[in-house]
Amino acid sequence: MSAGSAKASLGNDQVTLKVEGLKKYFPVHRGFLQRVSGWVKAVDGVDFEVLQGKTLGLVGESGCGKSTVARLILRLLEPDGGRVIYRGSDITRLSEKEMKPLRKEMQIVFQDPFGSLNPRMTVGQSIEEGLRILGMPRPQRKERTRELLEMVGISGSNADRYPHEFSGGQRQRIGVARALSVEPSLIICDEPISALDVSIQAQIINLLEDLREQLGLSYIFISHDLNVVSYLSDRVAVMYLGHIMEYASADELFENPLHPYTLALLSAVPVAKPGQDVEIKSLGGDVPSPLDPPPGCKFQGRGPLVEERCRLEEVDFWEPGGGHQVRCWKVGEG
């Protein structure tokens, strides 16, 4: 494996999803003729793997490209470069017709538990929608819907009620049930608890973990909450301005964070790890515009270790071992 890749050697575990060099650039139009005047590099060469039955945590500040990565994986957006390999097949090269059978294999749970449900449909109808598309007969759909509601901790008798009749936590449970309806192997959880009360968040996290163990699911868990990520994830990718800055097992990353950006994110958590003293590593400066990212290291201007080389040279990955990778030459040279 080349030093420039963030794909760790993960032993003989089965790989469900592999992302290689993924890119998405959005054009910026200006003027009367709306000509393209630049490009927002939302995702700029991202690599990672998701193992069967495991959880990859994808973390970073708002606007770093996490949700765009999710939509690229699901082909809700078309990538401008790179590959998304699902169980050995490059799905970025598939037509919409070829992609359709794979839609049920990969599902998403959205951040907003109310906005993701049609208010004009009962929760049962929302859950049944995928089953109907798959051709399941109506009586079986009804029975399966009740089973799914029970699975996520809601009485099946509530299938005929509407979303506004449920609390935020209950609506997110319904969103999880809908994602499970087509029996996926991979679920992308895009900030699934950030809109919920703190008292409810733990319940949803425990539900997701129980379902993963029970059904053998693989997750990509997108969040800015590092405490939650440390609890749920087997591996963690830290994202900044469209790039992966650090990639390691969850244990390794939280016990031995190396990149200045990761250290700053951890220091902002009230208790990054019980019993661990974390020195505050504040972030200086502002997040650069993805329309005009700086040359060299994209983190330059905000990190405490910045030198002239950081401002001039494109940063490659350094691998200290054990699958731990960090995009910082300064850390690599000690």
Write down the pLDDT at residue 309. 77
Beta bridge partners of 85: 18, 90
Q: What are phi and psi of 150, to 5 degrees?
A: -65, -35
At CB < 8 A and 24+ separation, what contacts does 95-100 make? 99/75
- DSSP structural state of residue 317: P
What are the structural domains of the chain? 15-53+61-94+225-332 (3.40.50.300)
| Sign of the C-alpha dihedral computed for residues 303, 221, 212 and 274 taken in this order | positive
- Residue 295: predicted pLDDT: 81
pLDDT value for 194 = 87
Residue 104 CA, distance from chain mean position: 18
CA angle 199, 173, 182 (to 5 degrees): 155
12/267 Cα distance (integer angstroms): 34
Q: What is the pLDDT of residue 302?
A: 74
Label the pairing between strands 218-223 and 55-59: parallel
pLDDT of residue 313: 78
Count of Cβ atoms closer than 10 Å to residue 3 Cβ: 10
Give the pLDDT confidence score for residue 255 in this predicted structure.
Answer: 92
With both helix axes pointing from N to C terminus, report the angle between 168-180 and 123-133 in degrees, rounded to the nearest 10: 10
CA–CA gap between residue 323 and residue 230 (Å, rounded)? 17
Burial of 36 from C-beta contacts in 10 A (0-12 / 13-18 / 19+): exposed
Are the C-beta atoms of residues 147 and 177 closer than 8 Å to each other?
Answer: no
Dihedral sign computed on CA atoms, order 108, 109, 111, 116: positive
Which amino acid, residue 29?
H
pLDDT in tens, the chain (334 residues): 333 343 343 444 799 999 999 999 999 988 888 888 888 999 999 999 999 999 999 999 888 999 999 999 999 999 999 999 999 999 999 998 999 889 899 999 998 877 888 999 999 999 998 888 888 898 999 999 999 999 999 999 999 999 999 999 999 999 999 999 999 999 999 999 988 888 899 999 999 999 999 999 999 999 988 889 999 999 999 999 999 999 999 999 999 999 888 988 888 776 545 555 545 455 666 677 777 787 888 887 776 667 777 777 777 788 887 789 998 877 766 5
Task: Fill in the amino acid letter for 149.
Answer: L
Tell me the one-letter amino acid at 213: E
- Note whether 247 and 236 are within 8 A (CB): yes
Cβ atoms of residues 235 and 250 within 8 Å: yes
pTM: 0.87
Q: Is the dihedral of CA 75, 230, 170, 211 positive or negative?
A: positive
